[in-house]
Amino acid sequence: MIRANSISDSVLVSSYIKGDENSLSILINKHKQRLFSFIYSKVQDKDITEDIFQDTFIKVIRTLKKGNYNEEGKFLPWVMRIAHNLVIDYFRKNNRMPKFQNTDEFNIFSVINDGSLNAEKQIIQEQIYDDVRELIKELPEEQKEVLVMRMYKDMSFKEISENTGVSINTALGRMRYALINMRKLIEKHKIILVN
């Protein structure tokens, strides 16, 4: 008897695409706990989590049936991404902002700091980071290198200069161009970097 966990996702995905329905339930069971916890950590509600979980797999099934899946060996991150987008849709659709008149006994500002907004902020923040990471990939290699060292590895320009073998001024220049290019890319792709 083969243990479900010993079968790789890519094998299960391809056998499901070939018509083996059982492979899909193995995949769902294999990742259910992780995905469920991920969604729940964002929406903090069992029923909504259940709905989003179901919707995620409906999308997964549709994509697989259409033959549009090509994330070789990266099934879980792909599914998490679908769930992540559905959570964002849920927040957008429900606006998560109580609607009421500003009456004397009730002030709109007292609910603006409602905890449920923090989960939305966190998701939007993650989406922004993802968008920025995608943009960084479009930068010329030397600008990308400096930007990553500075922003993600928190290196000083002196360290960057030592690591790349260019002068501090060149490193500073590359960083400046990287930021100018990022700004252009943000406008071109109409990305909203608002948290």
CB 78 within 8 A of CB 71: yes
For the stretch 21-35, pLDDT in tens is: 999 999 999 999 989
Helix 75-94 vs helix 9-17: angle between axes, to the nearest 10 degrees? 80
Q: Is the confidence at residue 101, as pLDDT, over 90?
A: no
For the stretch 32-57, pLDDT in tens is: 998 998 888 888 889 999 999 999 99
User: Domain for residue 77, yes or no?
Assistant: yes
Residue 73: which pLDDT band, with cuts at 50, 70 and 90? low
Residue 174: which pLDDT band, with cuts at 50, 70 and 90? very high
What pLDDT score was predicted for residue 71? 67
In the block, tokens 């948290």 appear at 195
Residues 68, 22 within the same domain: yes
User: Domain for residue 55, yes or no?
Assistant: yes
User: Domain for residue 110, yes or no?
Assistant: no
The two structure tokens encoding residue 4: 């479900």
Residues 144, 80 within the same domain: no
Residue 96: which pLDDT band, with cuts at 50, 70 and 90? low
Residues 84, 122 within the same domain: no
Instruction: Residue 61: give its domain's CATH number.
Output: 1.10.1740.10
User: Domain for residue 102, yes or no?
Assistant: no
Kindly report the pTM of this predicted structure. 0.50
Residue 4: which pLDDT band, with cuts at 50, 70 and 90? low
Q: Is the confidence at residue 104, as pLDDT, over 60?
A: no
Q: Is the confidence at residue 93, as pLDDT, over 60?
A: yes
User: Domain for residue 32, yes or no?
Assistant: yes
By 3-state DSSP, what share of the chain in percent is helix, strand and coil, each rounded to 5?
Answer: 75, 0, 25
What is the domain range of residue 182? 115-188
Instruction: Residue 124: give its domain's CATH number.
Output: 1.10.10.10
User: Domain for residue 106, yes or no?
Assistant: no
Helix residue spans in 67-167 (DSSP H): 75-94, 116-137, 141-147, 157-164
Residues 139, 85 within the same domain: no
Mean confidence (pLDDT) of the chain: 78
Q: How many domains does the chain have?
A: 2
